[in-house]
Amino acid sequence: MKKLHAGNIELLHDRYVPAEGLIREESSRKKLIKNLGIRVTHQLMVRQREMMANELKQYYAGKGLLVEVELNGPDKTCINFFSALFCENAVHRIVKKTNLFFYLKEAGFEKVTLDDSDENVWVYNLNLARGLEAKR
């Protein structure tokens, strides 16, 4: 008996129409499952960023530091830190000597703003940042 494959489809014309419907249905289901997976992953990433912002608020409060943390953007990919404690030296230490930006990028944040609540604002695009690896 001859093995059935796509090349023999014209030989099986009477079976082709129902099979074509099944193939379309399978393709439609695969797309639906893929889109559902993308939406669920997206929602989980947004939730993860919200949880991380809350943990940072608690961390700073526990250390007695007055740092306000806010999320912005439709996907909450922008995180803003407000504190009168920020100065150029403090910001430089945060950027260069901590893992904060590495972990923010890992959580899906794209932009970080450090604001001294006065006139200075430091903005970092994590998509363009280089050398963000975990420091030991």
Top-confidence residue, 135 or 128:
128
Q: What pLDDT digit, counting tens, does each position of 54-99 carry?
A: 999 999 999 999 999 999 988 999 999 999 989 999 999 988 888 8
Top-confidence residue, 85 or 12:
85
- Rounded to the nearest integer, the mean pLDDT of the chain is 84
- Spell out the domain ranges in the chain: 48-125
pLDDT of residue 11: 54
Domain 48-125 has CATH 3.40.190: no
pLDDT of residue 46: 93
Residue 113's pLDDT band (cuts 50, 70, 90):
very high
C-alpha separations of 19 from 9, 16, 30, 33 in Å: 10, 5, 16, 21
* Gyration radius (Cα) of the chain, Å: 25
Per the confidence metrics, is the pTM higher than 0.95? no
> pLDDT > 70: what percent of the chain?
82
Q: HSE-up of 2 (CA within 13 Å, CB side)?
A: 8
Q: How far apart are CA 3 and CA 12, in angstroms?
A: 12
